[in-house]
Structure 1
Amino acid sequence: MRRVAMLILGGAVAAAGVGCGSDSSIDYGFYSNNHGENPAMEKKVITVDSTERIEQNQQLGLTAEGTIKGEAPGILLRVIVQDVFETSFTDGTETPPGSRVMAVEVQVVNAGSRVFNDNPASGTTIVDASGKKYKSHPGQVEIDGGELFPEPLGLQPRDQRTALVPFVVPVGVNIKQVGFQIDKGGEKGLWRVP
């Protein structure tokens, strides 16, 4: 009888330990950049949502950093959506009637082992309150507020670049999310816009 009581008591203590949460079950918001691509970059601990969370379609806040892996080996970016704001073309490009120009400021850090040449603008989208997606404005233009990503980007491992991605959207559209994907087979990040 004493042995049965000890087993029951031991089980209750173990259950209480699980219920209170061990270090492995507590979510502190610190994640390792552990994709096996660039050990020097991946040793850094970053305060971001993990790739697993991004795959579950949970959203990051503006200025939060997401680690996005491409389909090709060696392609890994640390991406921060810094800002979303209204702007205008400064190169003579006309804004269609009933539309406005929006800019998304994106910082990309090459955390992979290969040169990243794709233009981040091609993988950036914005989503309005109704769920409609908008692709970035095609071609090279100039907008007020900063420079656009060059084509090709040529971002070496460990290098970073911050630039703007332009969009043309209808007047009155409320932008609620920014999406980022390196390529069709790569991971996705989703940022919420306040």
Structure 2
Amino acid sequence: MMLSLDFAKRLGQVDIVAKFDVDAKAAALYGPSGAGKSSLINMIAGLIKPDRGHIAIRGETVFDSEARINVPAHQRNVGYVFQDGRLFPHMTVRSNLHYGRRMHRLPQDQAAEDRVVALLNLGNLLTRRPGNLSGGERQRVAIGRALLMQPRILLLDEPLASLDSARKAEVLPYFERLRDESGVPLLYVSHSADEIRRMAAVVVRVADGKAFGVEDAAGLIA
């Protein structure tokens, strides 16, 4: 099972409630801006603690309020790609790629690095700094950094939202290659039905902080 969730959290005046099981290589959370999608994946990642319930990632319980289990974010082995990439501007692309691996004290694996660089077509960018990259290039570097952490799951939070139409068309095929070739399960978050139909096998709708049940992404209508 990729994900098994049943939790609730009060955030301000909104109740975030999720209950679903997902067993797919690529799944998605779908809903309008402000629906609670980012809050939900922040709880999966361990950045926000639910008030009650449980979360299991690929069979391992990372949160259980009754059993008093709350695995810290840095120990959940979750890759997270934000809307804006969040690269370190003073570092080269190569240094940014290795940052997560070093923080998790993983040994350098040149073969894995070569695969990621080839997968995301980063070879000609390695000596450049983020300020000299396009938005699409920055997102590809952010994905590579997450992959080199050897995550058990990759969370992609509206990864194309900050890009214009041309850059979205440029980057989306890389996400499809990521899904098909990386071997890492994906949870893709978006308010775009078109993106989700291309990226995911199954989808969970999120509305007013509520996320229940799973449906076939191919039949998703905005």
Would you call these one fold, judging by a TM-score over 0.5?
Answer: no
* Structure showing the higher strand proportion among its residues: 1
Larger radius of gyration: 1
Higher RCO (CA < 8 A, seq sep 6+): 2
TM-score, normalised to structure 2, is: 0.25
